[in-house]
Amino acid sequence: MKKIAAIQDLSGYGRASLTVAIPILTHMGFQVCPLPTAVLSTHSEYAGFRSLDLTDFMEEFIAHWKELHLSFDAIYSGYLASAKQMDIVNHFFDDFKTDTNFILVDPVLGDHGTLYPNITPDMVEGMRKLCMKAKIITPNLTEAAFLLGEDPKQEVNTDKAIQWSKALSELGPEQVLITSAPGEDPRKVATLAYNRTDRRTWRVACDYIPASYPGTGDAFASVITGCVLNGNSLPEALDRAVYFINMGIKATFGYDHSPLDGMDQEKVLHYLNESLPYYRYELLDTPVK
Ligand code: PXL
């Protein structure tokens, strides 16, 4: 059984972080070992959420894992609640990275051009340092901008998003996946994946749906983690993750419950173990105009 150390928060209501990652990765046949960073009443997009920061306990938690000489096939970090946690996770990477496992950092910082509540500039810096140690990172366009010190509100076309993924890979990660990038036409939204080793850029475009669900980035990063553990190629992993999110959004969009509840992923988990109906990925070997 392959094991994944999943370093992120547990939010009681509103699908996000561990309540998204555990079902997905369990469904894909992996053992998820949570290292919780905080316990929240809801994810932080609900007004008035309560948060118990677990920074101090994390060190004890990790000390125990070290005593037990645990090892993991993947280390996957997501939402972190303080700059100090980022230092702790940085040391965790040093202690638990081996020649055979990999680190995926989902640099959860913000969306739609702004940082999430509670995310401070020193946390952006802490996240940048974590990205340097990862093999794979999965920022959305807003997070990519903050990590690069770019204006997060600017218009970004495909060429620029590709440039950003290359610039991010120069920080250290071999593979940079950027979600919520623009498509070639306004009815499409694209997800890009750049591999520094072979310098290939892949794109999966899908229909833009006028809805936004928290936690879809967590679902995306979780599926990518599982696909990499399954030995999928980068574009296959990209295709599967985009397909899963797309199906999840479509399974939810027809209902009128609050978008803050996240997407109804329970209805679409089974797609994770079915073959893809078709491959949609494209190779963008030259920047698209
Ligand atoms: O979906 C990312 C995420 C994870 N964890 C918490 C969050 C968010 C996004 O808002 O608030 C607590």
In this structure, what CATH number is given to the domain that contains residue 231? 3.40.1190.20
Coil, strand or helix at 57? helix
Strand ranges (DSSP E) for the chain?
3-13, 31-42, 51-53, 74-77, 102-105, 110-111, 114-115, 136-137, 175-182, 188-195, 200-207, 282-283
Q: Which atom of ligand 1 is nearest to the CA of 81?
A: 12
CA of 44 to the centre of ligand 1 (A): 6
**Residue 248 confidence (pLDDT):** 95
Nearest to 16 by CA among 58, 107, 79: 79
Q: What is the pLDDT of residues 12-45, one digit of tens each?
A: 999 999 999 999 999 999 999 999 999 999 999 9
Q: pTM here? A: 0.96
| Apex 152 CA angle, 151 and 158, nearest 5 | 95
104 in helix, strand or coil? strand
Strands 114-115 and 200-207: unpaired
Q: Read off the pLDDT of each residue in 88-104 and give the average, rounded to a whole number.
A: 98
* Ligand 1 pocket, mutate which of 40, 44, 80, 114 (most atoms under 8 A from CB): 44
User: Is 80 exceeded by the pLDDT of residue 122?
Assistant: yes
220-276 confidence digits (pLDDT tens):
999 999 999 999 999 999 999 999 999 999 999 999 989 999 999 999 999 999 999
In a domain, 94, yes or no: yes
Pocket probe for ligand 1: among 43, 77, 123, the residue whose CB has the most ligand atoms within 8 Å is: 43
- Nearest-atom index, ligand 1, CA of 44: 11
In a domain, 71, yes or no: yes
Residue pair 214/45 in contact by the 8 Å Cβ criterion: yes
SS3 call for 205 = strand
Domain annotation covers residue 253: yes
Q: Cα torsion for 111, 115, 118, 119, to the nearest 10°?
A: 110
Residues whose beta carbon lies within 6 Å of some atom of ligand 1: 9, 11, 16-17, 40, 43-45, 79, 108, 116, 214-215, 217-218
pLDDT tens across 126-173, in order?
A: 999 999 999 999 999 999 999 999 999 999 998 999 999 999 999 999
In a domain, 289, yes or no: no
Q: Are 3 and 33 in contact (CB under 8 A)?
A: yes
Alpha carbons 100 and 97: distance in angstroms, whole number: 8
Summarised one tens digit per residue, pLDDT across range 168-210 is: 999 999 999 999 888 778 788 899 999 999 999 999 998 888 8
pLDDT confidence of residue 289? 47
Average pLDDT over residues 278-286: 86
268 within a domain of the structure (yes/no): yes
Q: Whose CA is nearest to atom 2 of ligand 1?
A: 215
213: exposed, middle or buried (Cβ count in 10 Å: 0-12, 13-18, 19+): buried
Query: Which pLDDT band holds residue 285 (cuts at 50, 70, 90)?
Result: low
Q: Which of 247, 250, 239, 251 lies closest to 280 in space, CA to CA?
A: 239
Whether residue 85 lies inside any domain: the answer is yes
pLDDT of residue 143: 97
Mean model confidence pLDDT for the chain: 95
**Domain range for residue 84?**
3-284
- At residue 265's C-alpha, the angle toward residues 240 and 209, to 5°, is 70
Q: Give the count of domains, the chain.
A: 1
Using CA atoms in the order 227, 177, 201, 273, what is the torsion angle rounded to 10 degrees? 20
Counting residues of the chain whose pLDDT is more than 90, the rounded percentage is 89
DSSP code at position 253? H
Give the model's pLDDT for residue 187.
83
